[in-house]
Structure 1
Amino acid sequence: MNEQDVVRLSDATLLSYIAEGAANILYECSDPLYTGYLLRLRKKMPSQPSTLDVYKFLQNTIEPLFKPGMVVATKLVRLSPHVLRELNSQLSSLDENGVREKKRHGTWLDTEEEYGMYVENMTATAAFGSDELPIAQEVRYKVKGSSSMLGYVLRGDLKKKSQETAVLEFKPKWLMQSRDAPVGWTYCRTCALRRMRAKDKAGQYAFCPLDLVSGDRNRVSKSVEALLPTEVGEQIGGGDRVLGLERLRRILVEYIIKADIFTTLRDIQEKMDRHGLLNTDTKQESTEFLIAMTVRDCTAFVRIDAIEDDKLEGEKRNFVGESSGRASFVKDEGRWFAVSCRLADLDIKDGSGTKQEYWRSIERELNGGGWYCGRDDQMAECR
């Protein structure tokens, strides 16, 4: 790590609270140099790796496994000591005003932390290119029975100039079958786990990861329809939208079939898990296995921007399939769309014996309960 490349941050007033999870809080920074990024800060929690450790793991272990541009860009940020204290004071006020979820109340940033991390902003609210049109409509919709979320933003004034953006956020999960599955399996590891947990009692189809990397247009289309069901179109609004539901589906199918980001993710899962959950014992195998579990739980952000043809002047009009590090371009019914996909949530998994035993216990239960096999009226077979 070159210390000269580390960004400095000493002004907490530049930061605005956006969202948080169990271990981290995201902030937007008003510094124009970092408008394309969100700042991720670590909470004070036992056994959590430091931000510096997370950053080094991403730079030295995860990113070399992928082609350039497949993983969200990151920048290490050195924090002045008072910044975290001031932000914790703000969090206390957010608790009092009901801004934070109740389950997050009383959790604070780690004031002993020296670093934060800027992560590329893949949300729909991030402006495409140099345009800074005001947001006229914003939708964030959690798809029922799925791990997916759709963000949609309409910028500008429809009567004058507008810009539409949609971001599909989902977890690709296990893109290969578990090496511990029985020979006669009919369900992949992800779908077998869904069966066991009975999350799809109503018969709603949750996408099969094996369909996603099948290369078969019908199977990919089935997954895209599950990730973007009919109610998504109702959330976006009327038929005058450039990025209507059917067009979003067509663009995503084209992208997934021709791009290599998901097949690359599958190949890494296969390489890092050579023996399966039940047969990984040595220290070296355990390290690789933790990487496999990390990439099995990452989040994909597929962003689609409706763009005008004049935006493409001087650009190479690539069809998807090439990892240029930025956007690829897809043409649908005479109009061009910029499509980009990045992978996030790639922190190293907890390698404690307790966690590994938990994963193994699930595998034993899937096998012992016959969840990999048979037929289920509520769920299509995976092979």
Structure 2
Amino acid sequence: MAGMLLRVPKAGTQAYKHEDLQLYWETSVQPLFGLQDLVQQRLVRLGDAHVVSLLNAALDLHEAETGRRDDFKGSKVAHAEYGMLVEDMRKQHADDVVIEFKPKWLAQSPNAPATAQRCRNCAREASRRAIIHHTTHHTHTHAHKPKPKSKPILCPLDFLACQDSPAALDRVVNHVVSHLSLPASSHQHTRLVSWLQTNELLSRLRDAQTANDAHGPLKASAHDPRFQLAMTLRDCTCFVRIPAQADRPVEAKFADLDKKNWEAKLGYWQATETQLIVEGYYHGEEKPRQRTNCRLEGRAMDDGGGRRLRT
């Protein structure tokens, strides 16, 4: 069907059935947003086992001829009654620009220390970078060369600050443009800047995250549907499609809003939060200190009068 992609269940996983995912999307996620704010999806019958066999044969051929992403190599389509038709957010014309990013935690974790100098997402990034640092520097064989340093990720709080802070806007735009061929003189660049300054979509996502999680992972119950929804909202993807034609509107939509196996994940979420607190990542106390682009960290380094608070 034009404008839609077929999503099929992967064999050998414990994921929810597509009919369960669709019901959750319709009853828990969709009411939070307008239809224009979400990548649309609907169930479709896959038919009999012959259809699934044809799909698997097509995957085998594709893998043999052009290869597949590493985490999909060798995977098969499960024998299931339903798949999904999902709205295609790729380019509609060759010169369209499509930006894809994960907004992540758009507000601080309720469990973070009151004096935290990093947001939850940047504290988590610092912990990942620290692990890489220690792994690299404790490997002494020639077979394992140190990996080149990667740039810190963009702070999620900067997305919301674009409407009030020219510095935050510059950071977001520069980050996006560095991954795209998007000249500053183009109308698409101008429209991206305008969308970042005026959109209400990301603030609605933040409000939905905070409204459904007042206590954070450490005080959450695996059976609390509101906390479960908050964690789903923290793992979604945002697509922004900027058409080549100036008379076509910019489209911004959320996707990847699947129901999660919260009982299986709660222990991981709680362990991660405990690590960030106990090991000092919220305060930047890890040794050596990892550089991040956190908006909170930038404020903590300067009290407004240029005086350095801590390093």
Which category describes the TM-score, using the shorter chain as reference length? Answer: 0.7 to 0.9
**Change over 3 Å in CA distance of 1:249–1:182 after alignment to 2:** farther
2:211 matches 1:298 = no
1:325-364 matched pairs, under 5 angstroms: 338-352=249-263, 354-364=264-274
1:210 match: 157
Distance 1:210 1:103 in 2: 30
SS at match of 2:252: strand
Match of 1:224 in 2: 173
Q: Paired residue for 1:265?
A: 205
Structure 1 residue 91: Cα displacement: 2.2
1:115-194 alignment runs, 5 A limit: 115-124=82-91, 126-127=92-93, 153=94, 164-194=95-125
Change (3 A) 1:305 1:78: same
Aligned to 1:379: 292
- Asked whether 1:368 is paired with 2:278, we answer yes
Secondary structure of 1:355 counterpart: helix
Residues in 2 aligned to 1:246 and 1:372: alpha-carbon distance in whole angstroms:
39
Provide runs of 4+ in structure 1 moved above 6 Å: none
| AA matched with 1:196 | S
Given the superposition, is the C-alpha separation of residues 103 and 270 from structure 1 closer, same or farther in structure 2, using an over 3 Å criterion?
closer
Structure 1 residues 381, 95: CA separation in 2 closer, same or farther (over 3 Å shift)? closer
Q: 1:245: how far off? A: 4.5
Can you list the C-alpha shifts for 1:40-83, whole angstroms capped at 9, x where unaligned? Answer: 11111332111111111111111111123111011221122121
* Corresponding position of 1:108: 76
Relative to structure 1, the CA distance from residue 368 to residue 41 in structure 2 (aligned partners, 3 Å threshold; closer, same or farther) is: same
> What code does the residue aligned with 1:100 have?
R
CA RMSD in angstroms comes to 2.3
Partner Cα separation in structure 2 for residue 257 and residue 167 of structure 1? 18
TM-score by length of 2: 0.80
My pick for the range that moved more, 259-268 or 44-53, is 44-53
8 A contact 1:206–1:227 mirrored in 2: no
Structure 1 position 280, deviation (Å): 0.9
Unaligned runs of 5+ in 1: 1-33, 128-152, 154-163, 234-242, 313-336
Residues 281/80 of structure 1: CA separation in 2 closer, same or farther (3 Å cut): closer
Cα gap change, 1:295/1:97 in structure 2, threshold over 3 Å: closer, same or farther? same
Q: Distance in 1 between matches of 2:71 and 2:220?
A: 36
Q: Are the counterparts in 2 of residues 70 and 261 from structure 1 also a CA contact under 8 Å?
A: yes
Contact 1:202–1:378 at 8 Å: present in 2 too?
no
Question: Quick check: 2:154–2:293 contact (8 Å CA) kept in 1?
Answer: no
Query: For the structure 1 residues 365 and 76, does the alpha-carbon distance in structure 2 shift closer, same or farther, using more than 3 Å as the test?
Result: same
Hey, what does 1:11 align to over in structure 2? none
2:260 is matched by which residue type in structure 1?
A: K
Partners of 2:202 and 2:153 lie apart in 1 by 17
In structure 1, the residue matched to 2:299 is none
TM-superposition CA deviations, 1:113-150 (whole Å, max 9, x none)? 111111111111x34xxxxxxxxxxxxxxxxxxxxxxx
The alpha carbon displacement at 1:105 in A equals 3.3
Q: Would you say 1:80 and 2:72 are equivalent positions?
A: no
Counterpart contact for 2:232–2:260, Cα < 8 Å: yes
* CA drift at 1:190: 0.8
**In the superposition, relative to structure 1, how do residues 97 and 282 fare at CA in structure 2: closer, same or farther (>3 Å)?**
closer
Distance 1:57 1:216, change over 3 A: same
Pick the aligned partner of 1:99 from 54, 64, 67.
67
Helix, strand or coil at the partner of 2:254: strand
- Kindly report which structure 2 residues correspond to 1:47-86, keeping only aligned pairs within 5 A, or say none: 47-81=14-48, 82-86=50-54
Q: State the alpha-carbon separation in 1 of the partners of residues 58 and 293 from structure 2.
A: 49
| % same residue | 33
Q: Which amino acid aligns with 2:283?
A: C
How many Å separate the matches in 2 of 1:374 and 1:72?
A: 37
Alpha-carbon offset, residue 246 of structure 1: 5.3
Q: Distance in 2 between matches of 1:377 and 1:76?
A: 45
TM-score (norm 1): 0.66
Q: Aligned residue pairs: how many?
A: 273
Q: Tell me how far 1:205 sits from its aligned partner.
A: 4.3
Answer yes or no: is the 8 Å Cα contact 1:44–1:108 preserved in 2: yes
1:228 deviates by 2.4
Q: Is the Cα–Cα contact under 8 Å of residues 153 and 293 in structure 2 kept in the other structure?
A: no
Query: Corresponding residue for 1:7?
Result: none
Judge conservation of contact 1:203–1:378 (CA < 8 Å) in 2: no
Structure with the largest fraction of helix: 2
Match 1:244 to one of 183, 190, 202: 183
Equivalent pair of 2:232/2:257 in contact (CA under 8 Å): yes
